[in-house]
Amino acid sequence: MFIFLLFFFNLLIIFLINFFFKKFSFLIDKKQLPHKNFTSLDNIPISGGLIIILNLFIFSKDYILNLFSILIFILGIFSDLFIIKKSLKKFIIQFLILFSFIYFYEVKILSTRIFFIDYFLDNNFFSICLTLFCLLILINGSNFIDGVNTLSCGYFILINLVIIYLINKGVFFYDSINFFYLLLVLFIIFLFNFFSKLYLGDSGAFVLSFIFGYILINISNNNLISISPFFILLLLWYPAFENLFSIIRKYLTKSHPYKPDHFHFHQLLFTFLKNNNFFSKHYANTFSGIFINSYNAIIFFIGSFFYNSSLQLGILIFFNILVYTSFYIILKKKFS
């Protein structure tokens, strides 16, 4: 019964929030920047992150997570409203929030199953730096992949489904988050995002990736024997690699590292689908995300059989990087 109430509550909240956002022209994606109007010219409410925050205290009993999720969300709101315009300033504030979170609440990666890295993890400073680096890469990578509909939200739905599967299988136990409630909230956001009725925006991408980054670090630390850290890396490979690949790509092409562009993988795929008349511009936007997440769903399904086997998981991660890089080169040459 509560599930149905939560479902209709969120539908009502989304309709109300979107109505007032449009009425007062508040938190609307007005396509003020070139990378924002690349896939769509429609003015869409950026309400996905707010929906997550409004549900946070329903699906989460972890009050430390809740507090810092709100701080990350506020930073995203300031970015969506162009109160904070410069990417460097955004990054510095992210750094300070995440450093405070890691330092004061001792949220650290305890093992990677890579012997020379684990040797240095005994050093508190190195452990803090590695954890901070991973969260920053994940959060900004998740913001990068939010360039087409359903991609970011759908990706974290897949991770949520994997977590539910392993909990039901008895691989681990996690009682601070109700993953069924979280899945319901994400599914509702996914539906509205599918039809371009809301966007996650920076606020939604930041808070969603922060929540799952924290959850997966905890799952890894509390199950070092039963779950390989490589499995956590597999679950987060796409937004993390998208970010790292973008940094390397911009360095090699001597582009500004903080300046948005149109050369992310999902944007090239969108252009391919649109230009070859597979879909209209509107549906090319949505199905670019669907196609990428269909691939990730297959990879997660295979990986879930090897959640404690670092060798097989390492091969899967390497395979993902090879597939991503190969298709990126093909698409980039096609539209160069």
Residue with tokens 């060798």: 311
Q: Is the pLDDT of residue 336 over 80?
A: no
Give me the pLDDT at residue 3, please. 84
Give me the pLDDT at residue 51, please. 96
Question: Lowest-pLDDT range, 41-45, 132-136, 212-216, 219-223?
Answer: 41-45
Q: What is the mean pLDDT of the chain?
A: 91
Distance of CA 269 to the CA centre of its chain: 19
Q: Is the pLDDT of residue 249 over 70?
A: yes
Give me the pLDDT at residue 262, please. 80
Q: Is the pLDDT of residue 170 over 60?
A: yes
Calculate mean pLDDT across residues 282-299. Answer: 92
What tokens does 101 get?
A: 């979170």
Calculate mean pLDDT across residues 196-212. Answer: 95
Give me the pLDDT at residue 34, please. 56
Calculate mean pLDDT across residues 40-47. Answer: 82
Query: Does 336 or 57 have the greater pLDDT score?
Result: 57
Q: What is the 3-state secondary structure (H, E, C) of the chain?
A: CHHHHHHHHHHHHHHHHHHHHHHCCCCEECCCCCCCCCCCCCCEECCHHHHHHHHHHHHECCHHHHHHHHHHHHHHHHHHCCCCCCHHHHHHHHHHHHHHHHHHHCCCCCCCCCHHHHHHHCCHHHHHHHHHHHHHHHHHHHHHHHHCCCHHHHHHHHHHHHHHHHHHHCCCCCCCECHHHHHHHHHHHHHHHHCCCCCCHHHHHHHHHHHHHHHHHHHHHHCCCCCCHHHHHHHCHHHHHHHHHHHHHHHHCCCCCCCCCCCCHHHHHHHHHHHCCCCCHHHHHHHHHHHHHHHHHHHHHHHCCCCCCHHHHHHHHHHHHHHHHHHHHHHHHHHC
Spatial separation of the C-alpha atoms in residues 102 and 187, rounded to whole Å = 30
- 307 CB burial (10 A radius; 0-12, 13-18, 19+): buried
Q: Is the pLDDT of residue 37 over 90?
A: no
| Residue 109: partners with Cβ closer than 8 Å, 6 or more residues away | 121, 127, 130, 131, 134, 217, 220, 221, 229
Q: Is the pLDDT of residue 230 over 60?
A: yes
Calculate mean pLDDT across residues 168-188. Answer: 94
Give me the pLDDT at residue 32, please. 57
Q: Is the pLDDT of residue 334 over 90?
A: no
Question: Lowest-pLDDT range, 88-97, 142-151, 239-248, 272-281?
Answer: 272-281
What tokens does 335 get?
A: 């539209």
Q: Give the number of residues written for the chain.
A: 336
Give me the pLDDT at residue 41, please. 63
Residue with tokens 């796409």: 238
Give me the pLDDT at residue 229, please. 97
Prediction pTM value: 0.94
What tokens does 140 get?
A: 């900004």
Tell me the per-residue pLDDT of 179-197, one tens digit each, with 9 for 90 and over. 999 999 999 999 999 999 9
Tell me the percentage of the chain whose pLDDT exceeds 70: 93
| Residue 118: partners with Cβ closer than 8 Å, 6 or more residues away | 111, 112
Give me the pLDDT at residue 38, please. 56
Give me the pLDDT at residue 260, please. 73
Q: Is the pLDDT of residue 81 over 70?
A: yes
Radius of gyration of the chain (CA): 19
Tell me the percentage of the chain whose pLDDT exceeds 90: 76
Phi, then psi, of 29 in degrees rounded to 5: -75, 100
Calculate mean pLDDT across residues 200-204. Answer: 95
Query: Does 228 or 88 have the greater pLDDT score?
Result: 228
Spatial separation of the C-alpha atoms in residues 288 and 266, rounded to whole Å = 6
Q: Is the pLDDT of residue 35 over 60?
A: no
Give me the pLDDT at residue 31, please. 60
